[in-house]
C-alpha cells in the first residue's frame, strides 16, 4: 500500500511539474513574441466626460493585425485635450515625446517650431511613394495636410466625413418649447433660444476655459454668414482682428452667454457636455465624434443639425498625427505602418457608414450624414487659423470677462489684437 501511495504521489508531482512547466513555456512564448515586436510608444487620452479611452479600437485593431511585428504601446492619461496639448510642449523640452503625437495642429506656433527644429518627420516621401496609401486619402484632406513646399508632417485621415462640427440638440426639450425643427437662419436660432428659456429650459451649453470651443464654434459659424466674415475665416494668422465681422462675432458671443447655464463661465467643455447629456441644456455645439459619446438611453432624443445657414465647421488637418524624428528607424517604420493603418481603417469606416441601411442608424447619425451630403458651406476651424497666444492665453480670460459684461466688445477685440503683437514678439 505504501509503495502504491509513493508511486501515486510521485506521478502527481510529475503532473504538477509538467503543468507548471507548460504554463511557463506558454508564458515565455508570449513574452518572447512581445519582445520581438517593435514597440511604438504613444500617449492617448481618456475622455474626462465619458471615461472612454480615446482611439482604443484603433490601437487594438493595429496590435492584432501586426502581432509579433509591431506593438503600439499606448499610455492612456486622464487629461483634457487642452492639458494634453500643453504637456506636449513640456515633453518636447525634456525630450520625452512618444513616437507618435496627436493634436499638434491645434498648437499653430508650436507646430511651426517643431517643423523648424526638425522634430517631426516629413511624411510626403512615404505617401507619394505608396500609391495605395495616397489613393485612400480624399484630395481635400491631402491638400489640407500639405504645406506650401509640398511637405506633409501630419499623416491624414482618409476622409473629411468625420471631421465636421454642427449642433446637437435635444428633440424632447425642443418639443416642450413647441419647436418642431431646428432653425434654418440665425434670426430663427435666437428666437428658438428665447422660446426655450421662456419654458424654463436653458438653451445652449457653453464654456470659457481652454479655447472656448463650444462658444467659438457657434460664433465663428455665425460670423461666416457674411462674405466678409467667411473670407476672414479663411485667413491664416490674421495680422489684425479690427474689422466689422470680428466685432459682430464678439456681440454674438456676448449674446450667446445670455442663453447658457450659470456654471458656463470659468468651466471647461466637460461641464457643458454633462449639462447637455443630463438634460439641463437643449443644445451643444460639437463634432461627429460626440455621436459615440451620447449615452444609449439618450440616443433616441438627440438630433444633429448644421449651423444655421447650412454651415459645418471642419479642418481635416487637425486630425493629422505626426511622427517624432528622435525615435529609431525601426520605430519610425512601425509608426508609418500605424498611420497608414489608421488611414485605411478610417476609409473602411467611411465606406461602411455610407453604405449602411438607414434602418440600422440612429436618427442622430442619419442627421449627420444628411448634413454632410447636403452641400454645406464648410467654415475653417478657428483653432488652425488664429495665433496660439490668442487661443492659449487670451480667449480664456477674454471670454469670461465678456460673458460677465466686465469688458465691452471693443475691449474684447482689442485683447485679440494685442495677442498678435505678443505672438509676433515670440516669433
**Average pLDDT over all residues of the chain:** 90
411 versus 33: the higher-pLDDT residue is 411
pTM reported for the whole predicted model: 0.80
Find how far residue 263's CA is from the centre of its chain: 23
Using an 8 Å Cβ cutoff, are 346 and 162 in contact? yes
At residue 35 the predicted structure's pLDDT band, cuts being 50, 70 and 90, is low
Task: Say what percent of the chain tops pLDDT 90.
Answer: 78
pLDDT computed for residue 34 by the predictor? 54
Distance in angstroms (rounded) separating the CA atoms of residues 76 and 55: 10
Helix (H, G, I), strand (E, B) or coil at 174: helix
**N-term to C-term CA, the chain:** 91
Helix (H, G, I), strand (E, B) or coil at 189: helix
pLDDT computed for residue 29 by the predictor? 35
Name the residue among 175, 117, 111 with its Cα closest to residue 147.
111
Task: Say what percent of the chain tops pLDDT 70.
Answer: 92
Using the predicted structure, report yes or no on whether residue 38 has a pLDDT greater than 80: yes
Distance in angstroms (rounded) separating the CA atoms of residues 292 and 331: 31
Which domains are present in the chain?
40-162+318-354 (3.40.190.10), 165-314+363-426 (3.40.190.10)
Using the predicted structure, report yes or no on whether residue 343 has a pLDDT greater than 60: yes
- Chain length of the chain: 427
Query: For the chain, percent helix, then strand, then coil, each to nearest 5?
Result: 55, 15, 30
CA of 324: how far to CAs of 83, 130, 137, 321, 331, in Å? Answer: 20, 20, 22, 10, 10
Strands (DSSP E) found in 207-332: 281-287, 302-305, 311-313, 322-323
**pLDDT tens digit sequence for 240-292:** 999 999 999 999 999 999 999 999 999 999 999 999 999 999 999 999 999 98
Distance in angstroms (rounded) separating the CA atoms of residues 126 and 142: 13
Using the predicted structure, report yes or no on whether residue 28 has a pLDDT greater than 50: no
Strands (DSSP E) found in 242-307: 281-287, 302-305
Helix (H, G, I), strand (E, B) or coil at 412: helix
In sign, the C-alpha dihedral spanning 354, 358, 362, 365 is positive
**pLDDT tens digit sequence for 399-413:** 999 999 999 999 999
Render 4-49 in DSSP notation, one character per residue.
HHHHHHHHHHHHHHHHHHHHHHHHHHHHHHHHHSEEEEEEEEBPTT
Distance in angstroms (rounded) separating the CA atoms of residues 308 and 331: 46
**pLDDT tens digit sequence for 155-205:** 999 999 999 999 999 999 999 999 999 999 999 999 999 999 999 999 999
User: What is the 3 state secondary structure string of 82-144?
Assistant: HHHHHHHHHHHHCCCCCCEECCHHHCHHHHHHHHHCCCECCCHHHHHCCHHHHHHCCHHHHHH
At a CB cut-off of 8 Å and minimum separation 6, what does 12 contact? none
CA of 398: how far to CAs of 265, 413, 418, in Å? Answer: 11, 9, 12
Using the predicted structure, report yes or no on whether residue 3 has a pLDDT greater than 60: no
**pLDDT tens digit sequence for 306-336:** 999 999 999 899 899 999 998 999 999 999 9
Distance in angstroms (rounded) separating the CA atoms of residues 252 and 250: 5
Bridge partners, residue 169, by sequence:
283, 303
Amino acid at each position: 500500500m505504501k509503495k502504491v501511495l509513493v508511486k501515486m504521489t510521485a506521478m502527481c508531482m510529475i503532473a504538477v511539474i509538467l503543468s507548471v512547466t507548460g504554463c511557463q513555456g506558454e508564458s515565455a512564448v508570449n513574452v518572447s513574441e512581445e519582445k520581438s515586436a517593435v514597440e511604438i510608444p504613444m500617449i492617448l487620452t481618456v475622455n474626462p466626460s465619458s471615461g472612454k479611452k480615446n482611439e482604443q479600437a484603433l490601437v487594438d485593431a493595429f496590435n492584432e493585425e501586426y502581432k509579433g511585428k509591431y506593438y503600439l504601446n499606448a499610455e492612456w492619461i486622464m487629461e483634457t485635450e487642452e492639458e494634453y496639448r500643453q504637456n506636449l510642449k513640456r515633453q518636447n523640452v525634456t525630450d520625452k515625446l512618444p513616437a507618435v503625437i496627436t493634436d499638434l495642429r491645434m498648437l499653430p506656433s508650436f507646430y511651426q517650431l517643431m517643423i523648424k527644429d526638425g522634430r517631426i518627420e516629413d511624411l510626403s516621401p512615404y505617401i507619394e511613394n505608396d500609391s495605395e496609401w495616397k489613393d485612400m486619402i480624399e484630395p481635400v484632406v491631402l491638400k489640407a495636410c500639405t504645406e506650401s513646399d509640398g511637405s506633409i508632417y501630419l499623416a491624414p485621415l482618409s476622409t473629411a466625413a468625420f471631421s465636421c462640427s454642427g449642433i446637437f440638440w435635444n428633440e424632447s426639450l425642443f418639443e416642450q418649447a413647441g419647436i418642431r425643427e431646428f432653425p434654418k437662419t440665425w434670426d430663427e436660432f435666437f428666437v428658438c433660444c428665447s422660446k426655450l428659456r421662456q419654458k424654463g429650459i436653458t438653451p445652449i451649453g457653453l464654456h470659457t476655459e481652454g479655447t472656448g470651443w463650444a462658444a467659438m464654434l457657434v460664433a465663428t459659424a455665425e460670423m461666416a454668414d457674411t462674405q466678409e466674415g467667411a473670407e476672414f475665416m479663411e485667413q491664416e494668422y490674421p495680422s489684425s482682428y479690427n474689422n466689422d465681422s470680428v466685432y459682430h462675432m464678439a456681440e454674438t458671443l456676448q449674446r450667446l452667454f445670455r442663453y447658457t447655464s450659470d456654471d458656463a463661465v470659468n468651466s471647461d467643455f466637460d461641464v457643458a457636455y454633462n449639462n447637455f447629456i443630463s438634460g439641463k441644456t437643449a443644445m451643444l455645439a460639437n463634432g461627429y465624434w460626440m455621436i459615440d459619446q451620447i449615452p444609449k438611453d439618450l440616443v433616441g432624443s438627440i438630433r444633429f443639425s448644421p449651423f444655421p445657414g447650412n454651415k459645418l465647421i471642419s479642418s481635416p488637418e487637425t486630425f493629422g498625427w505626426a511622427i517624432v524624428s528622435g525615435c529609431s528607424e525601426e520605430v519610425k517604420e512601425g509608426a508609418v505602418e500605424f498611420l497608414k493603418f489608421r488611414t485605411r481603417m478610417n476609409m473602411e469606416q467611411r465606406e461602411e457608414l455610407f453604405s449602411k441601411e438607414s434602418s440600422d442608424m440612429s436618427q442622430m447619425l442619419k442627421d449627420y450624414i444628411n448634413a454632410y451630403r447636403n452641400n454645406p458651406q464648410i467654415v475653417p476651424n478657428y483653432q488652425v487659423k488664429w495665433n496660439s497666444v490668442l487661443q492659449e492665453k487670451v480667449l480664456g480670460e477674454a471670454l469670461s470677462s465678456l460673458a460677465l459684461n466686465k469688458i465691452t466688445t471693443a475691449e474684447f477685440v482689442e485683447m485679440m489684437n494685442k495677442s498678435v503683437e505678443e505672438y509676433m514678439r515670440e516669433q
